[in-house]
Chain A
Amino acid sequence: MNVLVFLIPVSVTLGLLGLGGFVWTLRSRQYEDPEGDRERILDDRWDDTPKP
């Protein structure tokens, strides 16, 4: 069972990474316009160069 000494910190860290990712998406306002984001994938204005 000694392997748990590594596995538990690893699993908790991975979980925290996920939580960090969620916090990042929330802070960068990715939940504010779900419908717009769904449509924007069809937008070809910035295909060649990214939006300045």
Chain B
Amino acid sequence: MTMACPGCVAVPLEREIAPTASDIVLHLPDIHCAACIATVEDGLGALSGVRDVRVNLTQKRAFVSAAAGTDADRLIAALAGLGHRAQVLDGNTLAGQGAAGQDLLMRIGVAGFAMMNVMLLSVAVWSGAADTTRHVFHLIAAAIALPAVAFSARPFFASAFRALSVGRLNMDVPIALAIGLSAAVSLAGALGVSDRASWFDAALALTFFLLIGRYLDHLGRHAAKSAAADLAALASPQAILVQGGRDSVVRADVLVPGDVIRVTPGSRIPADGVILEGRTELDCAALTGETRPDLRSVGQDVAAGEMNLTAPLLVRCTRAGTDTTLRRLSDLIASAEMQKSRYAGLADRAARLYAPAVHLLGLLAFFGWWWASLDAGRALEVAISVLVITCPCALGLAVPAVSTVTTARLFRLGLLVKSRTALERLSEVDEVVFDKTGTLTTGVPVLENLPSDAHLALAAGLAVGSSHPLSRAISAAAGLRSLTPVVVRDVQEIAGCGVTASLDGQPVRLGRPAWVAPGVAAPDASEVWLQRGEGAQAVFRFAEALRPEAAACITALRADGIRVALLSGDAPEAVARIADGLDFDEVQARMTPEGKVAWLQARAAAGRRVLMVGDGLNDTGALAVAHASLAPSTALDAARSLADVVLLSDSLMPVREALAQSRKARSRMGQNMALALGYNLISVPLALAGLATPLIAAIAMSTSSLTVSANAMRPSK
């Protein structure tokens, strides 16, 4: 094997780092076993145009290398046939994610190798090697340790240098001092300038343990970043741009005001604009929380995020890209984000106290010993031993180890933790606020009553081509009863009213009661009537479906002593229908986005720590100001990117689990900090007294790091 420079090796070949542009990355939320891997790889591999498929179970992704022009939708359809949900991820957003982690792993490997070898040599010295042997061992240790320290500890040196060059102290300054000074003093010993003890093993052990802490921290950050990239990649909304009479598909963020776009039924409007052509119903639930579709026609405004339900539209953009409706809330969100980024985690607070304390101790030790013994070399040695022993190996591991373990545990439960301080903030939550549409409910209406098979099959025949949520609910209900939709002719969808068609020469109408049978008193908006010819009307009644385990989750949260509230933008009747069966402490309807923010700020002022669970644009402000926030994966990208945690499963039960796990994690972090400090309390007096030898330093460092890691991994309960 040829040994290359580890620094070059750490940067992976370009081919290996991420899929090339023609490749397709799919997100497969449901895969979990060897059989799933085999099904997906074989199923996709059998498609024409697919060259190679590799499933990554850890990231729940499939990397597909395919011929240019292969349609990702075809892959998704094939996977759906095999029973796997899939979404396309934007390969460009994901490119280059793993490089930093690989780099750190390489440094850990080099430090670990060097530490083991130098430790072996040191053991010989500790157990009594003398004279020439001792000297040769020193030299060999130097030959191994110096290049290893120079390579492995570079992140610490670089960070310390950056901090010092702007006149600040950070956690890495004492680390770099301890590593650098101990290596330098040991080198002087090895070259025979002085006969001080060798601290090479301590310098390497420090580097090794600190790098592990750094790597765990990186994993946490990376998980957060890749979650955000995943979600950004998931979203990348597209628009159909009409230019010179031709349609082309572009990314929504390249649209500029004045562009004319086509919006097909069933898709979200990508930018704010005015309707040029068409008349349709729009589902505004994401913006206002209202479940009832809104009828719009030529000349009226539409907003990004609204869902086109019935007819194709031509829209002239007035505001596009990052400048859309979200702007209304953006000031609010920016200020709230500021507040949140000021939240100092346990580790940050410890670091803030730690750096000055260590410098002070080191200096005191140096000058104290110098004054007492008038021996600068001896004083420097004591100062180094103080720096080495107080070095935050265990402290650096205490928090990241726990968050890594807990984040992984939550991921298995279907929760993606995006923010680094989210766990600590979640652990303080004492009140949970739900949004209604799309959060507490699935956002999809379901058929509530039981019409006869004949009526349902006929209604399904009319509904089959429509993307209106009620039509879909009818089709779904017919599918559940395995009914074949009746074939009807001349299907025409009339925006705001319903669908007409003809069957055996008779007109059939499915739609709003007031339109199907004018003159008959219409009861409720969530009803649809079906009429064939002049016959009697069949009634289809719809209800919003609660997410699985919504009721159980709320009851369990209240049993944990947490207040639960419902804030919805929907009409009071609709909210009351949902809230009736559930055990809420407080229910508010017709809340504007600003209203939700004000409500949350009032709670915060009253000293409550609130977890906001929401999915729509109307929740973004609330998600931003809440102490912690959670969004379901079906939420709009604006909401998902703001939320600290994204709920991947359909069930709401993981919400409670997230709170319980974060409280456990928080107490584990506390224990770890106490353990780390405990070790320091014992070993620092030893070091100050000048009793700490490299052997004692090595033992104290490894045992404290190991105890802290073991405590983090310890299974709960």
B12 on the interface (CB 8 Å rule)?
Answer: yes
A43 on the interface (CB 8 Å rule)?
Answer: yes
Q: Is the CB of B117 within 8 A of A12?
A: yes
Cβ of B167 to closest chain A Cβ, rounded Å: 37
In chain A between 1 and 52, which residues have their CB closer than 8 angstroms to a CB of chain B? 1, 4, 8, 11-12, 15-20, 22-24, 26-27, 29, 31-36, 39-43, 45
Q: Is the CB of B9 within 8 A of A23?
A: yes
Q: Mark B688-701, 1 if CB is under 8 A from A, else 0.
A: 00000000000000
A45 to B13, CA, bound (A): 29
Cβ of A52 to closest chain B Cβ, rounded Å: 10
Q: Mark B473-513, 1 if CB is under 8 A from A, else 0.
A: 00000000000000000000000000000000000000000
Q: Is the CB of B42 within 8 A of A45?
A: yes
In chain B between 28 and 78, which residues have their CB closer than 8 angstroms to a CB of chain A? 33-34, 37-38, 42, 55-59
Asked if A39 meets B6 with Cβ closer than 8 Å, knowing A18-B113, A32-B58, A33-B57, the reply is no
Q: Which residue of A lies closest to B56 (CB)?
A: A33
Q: Is the CB of A43 within 8 A of B34?
A: yes
Interface residue from B37, B38, B105, B110 paired with A31 (Cβ < 8 Å): B105
Q: Mark B1-24, 1 if CB is under 8 A from A, else 0.
A: 101101001101100100000000
Interface residue from B1, B56, B140 paired with A32 (Cβ < 8 Å): B56
A31 to B16, CA, bound (A): 13
Q: Is the CB of A20 within 8 A of B1?
A: yes
Q: Is the CB of B58 within 8 A of A36?
A: yes
Cβ of B88 to closest chain A Cβ, rounded Å: 20
On chain A, the residues within 8 Å of B6 by CB distance are 23
Q: Is the CB of B117 within 8 A of A15?
A: yes
A6 to B430, CA, bound (A): 67
On chain A, the residues within 8 Å of B136 by CB distance are 4
Q: Is the CB of A43 within 8 A of B56?
A: no
A33 to B16, CA, bound (A): 14
Asked if A22 meets B33 with Cβ closer than 8 Å, knowing A4-B136, A27-B12, A32-B56, the reply is no
Cβ of B526 to closest chain A Cβ, rounded Å: 44
Asked if A33 meets B140 with Cβ closer than 8 Å, knowing A19-B110, A22-B109, the reply is no
Q: Which residue of B lies closest to A8 (CB)?
A: B140
Q: Which residue of B lies closest to A39 (CB)?
A: B34
Q: Which residue of A lies closest to B108 (CB)?
A: A22
B324 on the interface (CB 8 Å rule)?
Answer: no
On chain A, the residues within 8 Å of B16 by CB distance are 27, 29
A12 to B109, CA, bound (A): 15
Q: Which residue of A lies closest to B106 (CB)?
A: A26
B598 on the interface (CB 8 Å rule)?
Answer: no
A22 to B112, CA, bound (A): 11
On chain B, the residues within 8 Å of A43 by CB distance are 34, 37-38
Q: Is the CB of B109 within 8 A of A23?
A: yes
B120 on the interface (CB 8 Å rule)?
Answer: yes
Q: Which residue of A lies closest to B132 (CB)?
A: A1
On chain B, the residues within 8 Å of A33 by CB distance are 56-59
B248 on the interface (CB 8 Å rule)?
Answer: no
Cβ of B69 to closest chain A Cβ, rounded Å: 24
A43 to B6, CA, bound (A): 34
Q: Is the CB of A36 within 8 A of B109?
A: no
A11 to B124, CA, bound (A): 14
A34 to B219, CA, bound (A): 14
B102 on the interface (CB 8 Å rule)?
Answer: yes
Asked if A19 meets B59 with Cβ closer than 8 Å, knowing A4-B136, A43-B38, the reply is no
B587 on the interface (CB 8 Å rule)?
Answer: no
On chain A, the residues within 8 Å of B1 by CB distance are 17, 20, 24
On chain A, the residues within 8 Å of B57 by CB distance are 33, 35-36, 39
Asked if A26 meets B58 with Cβ closer than 8 Å, knowing A4-B136, A16-B3, A36-B37, the reply is no
A15 to B145, CA, bound (A): 13
Q: Is the CB of B120 within 8 A of A26?
A: no
Closest 7 CB pairs of A and B: A36-B57, A42-B34, A39-B34, A19-B113, A33-B56, A22-B109, A35-B57
6 contacts between A and B (CB under 8 A): A15-B116, A15-B117, A23-B106, A26-B9, A26-B10, A33-B58
Residues of A within 8 A of B (CB): 1, 4, 8, 11-12, 15-20, 22-24, 26-27, 29, 31-36, 39-43, 45
- With A19-B110, A27-B12 known, 19 other A-B pairs at CB within 8 A are A4-B136, A8-B140, A11-B120, A15-B113, A15-B117, A17-B1, A22-B113, A26-B10, A26-B106, A27-B9, A27-B16, A29-B12, A32-B58, A35-B58, A36-B37, A39-B57, A41-B34, A42-B34, A43-B37
